[in-house]
Every structure is written in structure tokens, then in C-alpha cells.
């Protein structure tokens, strides 16, 4: 029952903080690029004839932006979406030439670098558009601009009050050749509730915003508004392109309805560092919140809250070792956690792999942690960090 990392698959490791040269890291996330490609194919089928922009922001939801970007493009995605310019530049530095949209930047961001790298810039205000204008004039290069319209989420996006001012300025800049007006988009507030009336209200506001732009002589090359949930449940909203994020990574945005055949791409696991007996009545971990009700065997895992295992799940989660699941007992510490093996009939030993969450049959799921913490699985897959080494499997031929 020794540790065998995805035997039969190509394995590539990327540095966390330490241990990157270890053949078998103590704690790692394993990202299955074949699962990513599978999920892209499902989303493309749901999108019908619409193109697909794959969202790889936040280091591809903590899955690794560059390898995931290559995988989604190979699977048929046409474009990539990120939040910041620095995220977009990372993709360009890796040699990725596909269209990339960045849509969350302050007015003093390095728009010149984005323009020079042929990165599409989403703007949400007149001030941002002026900042893009200044950078375009300074570089002597036409900026590619997309308007993000606020249709009711009330985060970023051009507000209804400022919209006429933005359109007037954009018209001027297009006429001067300072910018190229490529697209318009918005973002839903209730897409994870497919029948919510606000979805249709936002669609109608978005269509009206596109029509208003046309009154200024501004016709976008494409429009898009569907995130993962809308892509999977509202084909009527596909428009020219869909823009899924979380579903690419195999997690359903409306899990109460279905998993849609998606395959979770991330497995978070640690190797057993120690197996030992604990006598009846002895406490385990800080504060002795768990007292052994009888003599038992425990396994120590070198993963704690510094690695992305929240302290708040202590004593409430299970891990899978081999074909069995075992409960975590006692507090999660900074560097380690303990699981109860009972009489250890499976013979768990040092070096064995313990899955904290993953996507294989029998694995605990990221949604299990989310339910315990009253949060969403988006946050859970962003937890692994620090010393965690990221490992990639699958994705043959996309290097």
C-alpha cells in the first residue's frame, strides 16, 4: 500500500515552497489536465455554436494557469479570461498567443504592458478608459478594449449613470484609431439559480446596453454573458461566446441540480508521516478535544492550516487511504493533522497516500468541506497553498 502517484500517467511537478525535488511530496495537489479537457468538451457541447472563453483567473482557480490554459485551448476553447494584467502577462510570457481578456484593474495598472502584449482590456469606467487611452498614445499601439456593463450585480462594470459618458469617449477613441472596440460583456448575480427572474432582467438590460452602444455607432464584434452556471443551464443565453470558470475544473456551479458529468480536476493529498498506537483515555492533538474511547491506531498527516487545511474542519472531515475512509480526530494544527485508523485492518503505513478531497470514486469531495464550512467549493480549491507541491497528470501533447 505504498504511495504510487497516478501510475501509468505522465506526471509533472511545479514548485510550491519546498520539496519540489522530492519524488513524492509530503503534501500536494494533483491536477488532472485530461479532466480539464473533458470538462471543456462538455461545456462546448452545452454552448452550442457559441465560442468559449475559459476563465483561468487566480492561477486557474489554484489549478495552475499556464498548464490549464494550454489544456483548455487544446480542448477547443477559443479565448482566455483573467482578472489582472499580471495574470495575462504570465500567459503571454509562457508563449500563449490566444486572445486574453483582463477585466479587473485599477486606473494606475500597467496598461502599456497589456497593450504591447496584445491583451484585451476590459474597462468599467470613464477613468479606466482614459488610462487605457493614455497608455495607447504613449506606446503608439492601438488598444483592444471591451466594455464591461453593470446590469445589476453592482460590482465592476460601467454604471448606468456613467454609460453615456463612456460611450461618447469610446466613440472618439475609435474614430481616432486609439482603441479597437472588440466586445461587450456582463456578469450574472443569480446564475446558480437558473429560474431566478433577475437573470432575465439582466439579459434584457444587457441587450438594451448593446442597442444603446449602436446608437453611438459602436457595434461590438461579439457579446458574452454566460458564466459556468448559465452555460450549463441556460443555452438561450449563449450569445456569441460563453465564459465558464468553475465548471472547467470539474465542480458544478449548481450542484443541487446535477454534476453535469463534470470531473473534478484537483486532488488534495498528503503522505502518511507516522502510524502509532494510542491508549484508551489518551488525548490527541492540542487541547485534547478528542479522547481515545478505546485503544486505537492513528496516522499522522503532514498537512495543516499552513497548507490549506482549515482549522475549522478539525474533527469533522474524513480522508481516504486506499479503499477506506478514516475520520480526522483532534485539532488541525499548522503543519499536521491526525486520523483514526481503528485497529488498522488495511495495514496503513508510513508513505501511504491520504486523499483529503478529490474526484475519484470514494474520495471526499471539495463540496463536503464547503458544506461543513457554510461556503462554496470555489473557496475550497483555493485553500491548498504554502508548502503544497502542484503535480500535473494527463494533457499529453499540449506542452
Q: d(Cα 100, Cα 117) in Å, to the nearest integer?
A: 10
CA nearest neighbour of 48 among 257, 202, 211, 230: 230
Q: d(Cα 367, Cα 373) in Å, to the nearest integer?
A: 10
| CA 385 vs CA 56, 269, 389: distances in Å | 17, 12, 8
Q: d(Cα 361, Cα 357) in Å, to the nearest integer?
A: 11
Q: d(Cα 44, Cα 260) in Å, to the nearest integer?
A: 13
| Cβ atoms of 333 and 341 closer than 8 Å | no
Q: d(Cα 11, Cα 8) in Å, to the nearest integer?
A: 9
For 70, what's the count of Cα atoms within 13 Å in the CB-facing half-sphere? 18
Q: d(Cα 47, Cα 49) in Å, to the nearest integer?
A: 6
The secondary structure of residue 363, as a DSSP letter, is: -
Q: d(Cα 387, Cα 177) in Å, to the nearest integer?
A: 48
Q: Is residue 163 among the annotated active site residues?
A: no
Which residue among 57, 61, 163, 378 is the active-site one? Answer: 57
Which residue among 134, 219, 249, 286 is the active-site one? Answer: 286
Q: d(Cα 90, Cα 80) in Å, to the nearest integer?
A: 12
Q: d(Cα 249, Cα 195) in Å, to the nearest integer?
A: 24
Q: Which residue has the cell 504554502?
A: 386
Distance from CA of residue 102 to its chain's centroid? Answer: 15
- Diameter over CA atoms, the chain: 80
User: What are 231's three cell numbers?
Assistant: 452555460
Q: Which residues have a Cβ under 8 Å from the Cβ of 31 and sit 6 or more positions away? A: 63, 64, 67, 68, 265, 266, 390, 391, 392, 393
Burial class, 212, CB count within 10 angstroms (exposed 0-12 / middle 13-18 / buried 19+): middle
- Binding residues for substrate, as ranges, are 155, 334
Q: Is residue 326 among the annotated active site residues?
A: no
- Binding residues, as ranges, are 155, 334
Rg value, the chain, Cα = 24
Q: d(Cα 72, Cα 248) in Å, to the nearest integer?
A: 8
Active site residues per annotation? 57, 286
Amino acid at each position: 500500500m505504498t504511495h504510487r502517484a497516478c501510475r501509468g500517467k505522465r506526471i509533472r511537478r511545479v514548485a510550491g515552497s519546498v520539496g519540489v525535488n522530492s519524488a513524492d511530496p509530503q503534501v500536494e495537489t494533483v491536477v488532472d489536465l485530461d479532466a480539464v479537457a473533458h470538462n471543456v468538451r462538455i461545456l462546448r457541447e452545452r454552448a452550442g455554436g457559441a465560442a468559449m472563453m475559459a476563465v483561468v483567473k487566480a492561477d486557474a482557480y489554484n489549478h495552475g494557469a499556464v498548464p490549464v490554459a494550454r489544456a483548455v485551448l487544446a480542448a477547443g476553447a477559443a479565448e482566455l479570461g483573467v482578472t489582472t494584467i499580471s495574470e495575462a502577462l504570465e500567459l503571454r510570457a509562457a508563449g500563449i498567443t490566444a486572445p486574453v481578456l483582463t477585466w479587473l484593474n485599477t486606473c494606475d495598472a500597467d496598461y502599456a504592458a497589456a497593450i504591447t502584449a496584445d491583451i484585451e482590456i476590459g474597462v468599467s469606467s470613464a477613468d479606466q478608459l482614459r488610462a487605457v487611452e493614455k497608455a495607447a498614445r504613449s506606446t503608439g499601439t492601438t488598444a483592444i478594449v471591451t466594455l464591461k456593463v453593470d446590469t445589476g450585480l453592482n460590482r465592476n462594470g460601467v454604471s448606468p449613470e456613467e454609460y453615456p459618458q463612456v460611450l461618447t469617449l469610446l466613440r472618439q477613441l475609435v474614430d481616432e484609431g486609439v482603441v479597437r472596440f472588440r466586445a461587450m460583456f456582463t456578469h450574472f448575480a443569480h446564475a446558480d439559480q437558473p429560474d431566478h427572474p433577475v437573470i432575465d432582467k439582466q439579459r434584457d438590460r444587457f441587450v438594451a446596453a448593446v442597442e444603446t452602444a449602436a446608437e453611438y455607432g459602436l457595434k461590438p464584434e461579439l457579446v458574452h454573458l454566460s458564466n459556468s452556471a448559465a452555460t450549463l443551464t441556460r443555452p438561450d443565453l449563449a450569445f456569441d461566446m460563453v465564459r465558464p470558470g468553475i465548471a472547467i475544473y470539474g465542480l458544478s456551479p449548481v450542484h443541487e441540480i446535477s454534476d453535469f458529468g463534470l470531473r473534478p480536476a484537483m486532488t488534495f493529498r498528503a503522505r502518511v508521516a507516522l502510524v502509532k498506537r494510542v491508549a484508551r483515555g489518551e488525548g490527541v492533538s492540542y487541547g485534547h478535544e478528542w479522547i481515545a474511547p478505546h485503544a486505537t491506531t492513528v496516522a499522522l498527516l503532514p498537512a495543516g492550516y499552513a497548507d490549506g487545511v482549515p482549522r475549522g474542519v478539525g474533527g469533522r472531515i474524513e480522508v481516504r487511504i486506499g479503499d477506506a475512509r478514516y475520520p480526522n480526530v483532534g485539532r488541525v494544527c499548522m503543519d499536521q493533522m491526525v486520523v483514526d485508523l481503528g485497529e488498522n485492518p488495511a495495514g496503513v503505513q508510513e508513505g501511504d497516500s491520504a486523499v483529503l478531497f478529490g474526484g475519484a470514486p470514494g474520495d471526499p469531495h471539495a463540496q463536503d468541506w464547503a458544506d461543513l464550512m457554510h461556503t462554496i467549493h470555489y473557496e475550497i480549491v483555493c485553500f491548498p497553498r504554502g508548502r503544497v507541491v502542484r503535480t500535473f497528470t494527463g494533457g499529453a501533447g499540449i506542452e
